[in-house]
Amino acid sequence: MRTRFIGTDPATRREVSALSLGAMLMGSRTDERTSFEVLDRYVEAGGTFIDTSNNYAYWEDGGQGGASEQLLGRWLKSRGVGSEVVVATKLGARPLAPGTGYVDNPEGLSPKTIREAVDRSRENLGVEKLDVLYAHIEDPGTPLQDTVEGFGAVVAEGSVGLLGVSNHWTWKIERARNIARAAGLPAFELLQYHHSYLRPRTDLPTPLSVDGGQGAASGDLLSYVRESGDGLTLVAYSPLLGGAYVNDAKPLGADFDHPGTVTRLAALREVAAELGAPLNQVVLAWQLGHDLPIIPLVGASSVAQLDDSLAALELELSAEQRAKLDAAG
């Protein structure tokens, strides 16, 4: 298994597998036996970077989330898994009450919420320290200074290792990191965003923003990762678009309804034919070999699905094939 380093400080950075496994539906839509089989296979293949959130998967049962973290906690305990596996979780988007959601009733990112959420996640996972903690969504109701200080406090006390941020505007990430630097506090080092080979429109209103989707890795965010110069890592969620590359029954949707999609799909299919590989594997290989530090984050509801993604680690794109993919659209 190929690996990458996350974090910039030699004293705190971690080496993780180049392919991350998402546990979003484990413990809810994906039953425990199947989830354990997928997790076991991932570790057997050398996987060491597992992703979850404190609100997964509240929409499955109308609750507040926690099922995914709790399942991972049972798996970690039953398998005796230690520090060789890095588990990342998130806070901020957990509904405050059952039957509500992250849009209308999120927990937010206040220092009090951060403290309570960290303790709950540690209990769910059965760990003393959270390896990686993300701010899941923005909280416009809490001053950014307070959020930065709240995250800094849980790192200082040893409850959290590395910090990350997801689904925030790029300018807000930079502002938060500047606040942290000025105060001598730990800054966000991992950025988790939706990123795939096909490019979504970013101008369409979303439930969280009338200005468009801040959850997509726009050119602005990719440029920020490239030019930051201090070791930021992009963790790319939903790189396979929920199966839309290979399953005609799963349409791409309005976000991808633009001319560039047609051009890039044509290039992708051409390269896949040259390699004799599925489209999904070519997409992952394109990310894995990117000049930016990208870690694809894949989900799997079966061992077969996971094995299909793992095979991408052995797929090499030629310079010509990569240039063809990059130039399309």
Predicted TM-score (pTM) of the model is 0.96
Q: Which two tokens stand for residue 27?
A: 């413990």
Among residues 21, 25, 13, 17, the alpha carbon closest in space to that of 1 is found at 17
Q: In this structure, what are the phi and psi dihedrals at residue 143, rounded to the nearest 5 degrees?
A: -55, 140
Query: For strand 160-166 and strand 130-135, is the pairing parallel, antiparallel, or unpaired?
Result: parallel
- b/e 103-129 (16+ beta carbons within 10 angstroms → b): eeebbbbbbebbeebbebbbebbebeb
Angle among Cα 148, 153, 155 to the nearest 5 degrees reads 95
* pLDDT for position 205: 81
- Residue 311, exposed/middle/buried by CB under 10 A (0-12, 13-18, 19+)? middle
156 Cα distance to chain centroid:
24
Contact 51, 104 (CB under 8 A): no
* pLDDT for position 153: 98
Q: Which two tokens stand for residue 106?
A: 């999120």
* pLDDT for position 228: 87
* pLDDT for position 323: 97
The span from the CA of 191 to the CA of 171, in Å, is 13
Q: How far apart are the first and last CA of the chain?
A: 32
Residues contacting 112, CB < 8 A, separation 6+ = 150
- Please give the torsion angle defined by the CA atoms of residues 54, 298, 241 and 219, in that order, rounded to the nearest 10 degrees: 80
Residue that has been written with the tokens 């996350």 in this structure: 6
Tens of each residue's pLDDT in the chain, 329 residues: 999 999 988 889 999 999 999 999 999 999 999 999 999 999 999 999 999 999 999 999 999 999 999 999 999 999 998 889 999 999 999 999 999 999 999 999 999 999 999 999 999 999 999 999 999 999 999 999 999 999 999 999 999 999 999 999 999 999 999 999 999 999 999 999 999 999 998 888 877 776 777 789 999 999 999 998 778 999 999 999 999 999 988 989 889 999 999 999 999 999 999 999 999 999 999 999 999 999 999 999 999 999 999 999 999 999 999 999 999 98
Q: Which two tokens stand for residue 239?
A: 């790189």
Residues contacting 57, CB < 8 A, separation 6+ = 24, 25, 27, 28, 29, 65, 67, 68
The span from the CA of 227 to the CA of 177, in Å, is 14
Domains observed in the chain: 3-250+287-317 (3.20.20.100)
Instruction: State whether residue 136 is helix, strand or coil.
Output: coil
User: DSSP H helical segments within the chain, as ranges?
Assistant: 32-44, 58-61, 67-79, 111-125, 144-156, 170-183, 219-228, 259-275, 279-288, 303-310, 319-327
The span from the CA of 228 to the CA of 19, in Å, is 23
Contact 308, 299 (CB under 8 A): no
Residues contacting 279, CB < 8 A, separation 6+ = 245, 246, 268, 269, 272
